[in-house]
Chains A and B, each alone.
Chain A
Amino acid sequence: MQLTEEESAMLHGEMGWPRQWAMEHLLQVGAFFDAESLVPVRQAHMMADTESLGEAGVEFIEKLAACSAKERQVRIPMITDPRGIDFDHYRELGQADWMAELEQRAIDAFRALGILMTDTCINYQTIMPPGRGEHLAFGDTGVVIYCNSVLGAYSNFEGGPSALAAGLTGRAPRYGLHLDENRRATRRFVVDYQPENLAEWGALGALVGRRTGSYWDVPVIEGVTGSPGSDELKHLGAAMASFGSIPLFHIVGITPEAPTLSAVCDPDAIATEPVTEKDFSDFFAGYGNKGDKVDVVVFSAPQLSLLEMAELASLLAGQQVHPDTALLAVTSPVVAADARRMGISGRIEAAGGRVLQGMCFYQSYAREMAEANGWTTLLSNSAKLVNIIGGYGYKPTLASMRDCVASAVSGKIM
C-alpha cells in the first residue's frame, strides 16, 4: 500500500504505540479489501457500548489510555455511539452494578483518548451532519447509511476497532464507498405503496435490505412520490442496514446522488424488482402477535429525535400505561436535555413511561434485562429493533407508534 511520510512514521512507531497499532490494523483491513492507499477522514464515530466491548475490549482501551497524552490523543473529532447504561436508571431496569462499573471504566479510558462521549446514533440529527463528499470513519450502520445516502458523505461501516484506528491516525483504508465506482446502483426497486408512518418506512428498508442482502450491492428505489423527512429516512436506512448490511441507497429525485435514475445506473442494464402493498402487509404479519399480552414497548434503534419524543408525548396525553407493561423511550443526551427542558419527558413520565438517554435498547444487555424483568413480548415501531431483538430471547412485534401506545395502555398488542 502506498503510504505518505507521516503514515510511515506512524506505522514505524515514531508517533507512539497507539498510532502504530492503529496503522497496523488499518493496513490489515486495507490489504483484505485491496486498498491501494489510505484516505484522510474528517470525523470518526465509534460503537463503544460495553456489551460489545466486554472486559477484553475495555482492557484494550485502558492500555491505549495508559500511554502518554501526546501518544494517545485522537487526531480528528471523534464521537461515540450509544452506551450500554443510563446511569440514572440502570438499577430499575434490572441491570447490574458490574455493568455500570465496566461502563465507567470504558468512559474514563475513552475520555483519556480525547473522545467526545456523545453517546448517540443520531449524530447526523443532533451533533454535526457531514457535508457532501466528506470522507468519514463512522460506526453504527444506521449512521453510515444515512450519512452516505441522505447527505452524500463517504464512509464504510467502521466497527469500533477500525473507527478508533481512524481517530488515532486520521485515516481509513481507501476501498468500498470511498471510491465513486462503488456508489453506483446495482439493484432497482420500484414501490407501488407509499409508507404512511415510521414503522412502514422501516418496513420498506427491511424489504429492500433483505432482498439486496450484500454490503457490496447498492439499491436504488423508484416510485417514492412524497418527500420523506429526516426521521422517515432514518428508519428506512436503519432497517435496510440491519436486514441487509447495506451501507448506501439512492431514492430517485430525493437523495443527492440520484437526481435521475441514469445518474446512478444504466437503467437498461438492471431489471426492476417490485415492492408491493402485499409485501408490506406480509412483512408486518410476520411479526404479528395481536391480542397477546405485551411486556415491554420500546421506542429505540435509532434513538428518538426531538420530534419523535414530542409525538410520543402527544399520543400518551390523558392516558396511563398499563401497570403490567413497561414503556421505554430512548434518546440521545442532547435530545433528552431539550425534551426535559420543554416538558416533553415529563409528559411521557406522567403517563407511566420511562425516558432513557445515551443508550440504545439492544446495546444495553437486553438479555439480562429480559431475565430481570420477566420480559418476553416486545412491541416497537422500529423494524431494526424487531430484527435484532429475537436473538436476545424476545418475541417482537412491529407496529406504528400510535398502535404501540394503544397497546401499552391496554397491556395487549392491538
Chain B
Amino acid sequence: MDNPIAGRRILKCHVGVGPRVTGTALVTDDNFSARYDLDRIAGVFSRPQHKLAGENYVDRILVVNTAKGGVASAWMLHEMASRGMAPKAILFNRVNPILAQGGALANMALCDRFEDGDITTLIRTGETVTVDPAHGEVIVGD
C-alpha cells in the first residue's frame, strides 16, 4: 500500500491569516505557547517537557496540535517577527483566538481546521510546505 503521506499533496483547511509562504516543516503533536514553551531570544523551544525541547523554530513551518496558555502570544508573535526570529507559519488542528489575533498583527501565515484530519500526522518534519492562508490551502512537497 502507498504511504498516505508520501509525495506532493494538497491539504484543504479553513481560510487563515497572513501571507503565502514556503518553508521546511517542524512537526509535533504537542501544543504551543510563545510564553510557556520558547526561549524567544535564542529561537528554540525551551520548556524541558515540550516534545520539541531544544529544536530551533526560526523560519520553519511549525505544525502543532493546538494553542495553549495565556494571551501574551498575541504580542509575542509580532515581537519575534520584528527581529526575524519567528516561525514562517504555524499550522494547528484547532487554534485559540490568541494565536489567530497574533498572526493577524504579525502578518504571519496561520491556518487550522484541516479537512483530512490530524495535521500533525499529515506532514512530516523536514518536508517542504507552502502555506496559502487566503485560499485555505497547504501544499506539501516540491
The chain A residues found within 8 Å of chain B, CB to CB, are: 25, 28-29, 31-33, 47, 49, 51-57, 60, 139-141, 156-162, 176, 213-216, 241-245, 362-363, 367, 387-388, 390-393
Decide yes or no: A390 and B16 within 8 Å by CB, A47-B71, A56-B78, A159-B73 being known contacts.
no
CB distance from A183 to the nearest CB of B (A): 15
> A54-B82, A161-B105, A213-B66 given as contacts; is B72 within 8 A of A33 (CB)?
no
22 contacts between A and B (CB under 8 A): A29-B101, A32-B14, A32-B16, A33-B97, A47-B70, A52-B76, A52-B79, A53-B75, A53-B79, A141-B71, A158-B101, A159-B75, A159-B97, A159-B102, A160-B72, A161-B75, A162-B97, A214-B66, A215-B97, A242-B69, A391-B35, A391-B38
In the A-B complex, the 10 residue pairs with the smallest Cβ-Cβ separation, listed nearest first, are A159-B74, A54-B79, A56-B82, A215-B96, A391-B47, A52-B75, A161-B105, A52-B72, A28-B104, A162-B101
Residue of A nearest to B81 (CB): A56
Shortest C-beta distance, A89 to chain B (Å), equals 22
Q: Is B52 an interface residue (CB 8 A)?
A: no
B98 touches A390 (CB 8 A): no
* Chain B residues whose CB sits within 8 angstroms of the CB of A390 once the complex forms: 36, 47-49
In the complex the two chains form, what is the Cα distance from A33 to B96 in whole Å? Answer: 10
Whether A139 touches B71, Cβ cut-off 8 Å, given contacts A56-B82, A161-B102, A214-B66, is yes
Q: B97 and A176: CB pair below 8 A?
A: yes
Interface size on B, residues (CB 8 A): 39
When distances are taken between beta carbons in the complex, the residues of chain B under 8 Å from A367 are 39
- A391–B101 touching, CB < 8 Å: no
Do B15 and A54 have beta carbons less than 8 Å apart? no
B64 to chain A, nearest CB (A): 13
* Cβ contact of B82, chosen from A25, A32, A55, cutoff 8 A: A55
Let me know if B47 and A29 touch, CB within 8 A: no
Chain B residues contacting A31 (CB-CB under 8 Å) are 15
- Please give, as numbers and ranges, the residues of chain B lying within 8 Å of A57 by CB-CB distance: 75, 78-79
B94 near A: Cβ within 8 Å?
A: yes
Does B68 touch A at the CB level, under 8 Å? yes
Check A140 against B82 for contact (C-beta < 8 Å).
no
* Max count, chain A CB within 10 A of own CB: residue among B14, B37, B66, B96: B96
Interface residues of B in 102-139 (CB under 8 A from A): 102, 104-105
When the two chains form their complex, are residues B94 and A159 in contact, meaning their CB atoms are under 8 A apart? no
Contact B105 A215 (CB under 8 A): no
In whole angstroms, how far apart are the Cα atoms of A102 and B68 in the complex? 27
Residues from chain B with a CB closer than 8 A to the CB of A159 are: 71-75, 97-98, 101-102
Cα A363 to Cα B17 with chains together (Å):
27
A56 touches B79 (CB 8 A): yes
B50 to chain A, nearest CB (A): 8
* B140 interfacial by beta-carbon distance below 8 Å: no
Check B72–A363 contact: CB distance below 8 A: yes
Does residue B56 face the partner (Cβ distance < 8 Å to A)? no
Q: Which of A139, A160, A245, A363 contacts B67 (CB 8 A)?
A: A245
Residues of chain A lying within 8 A (CB to CB) of residue B94: 214-216
Other-chain residue from B31, B47, B75 in contact with A54 (beta carbon distance below 8 A)? B75
Chain B residue numbers with a CB within 8 Å of A32 are 14-17, 100, 104
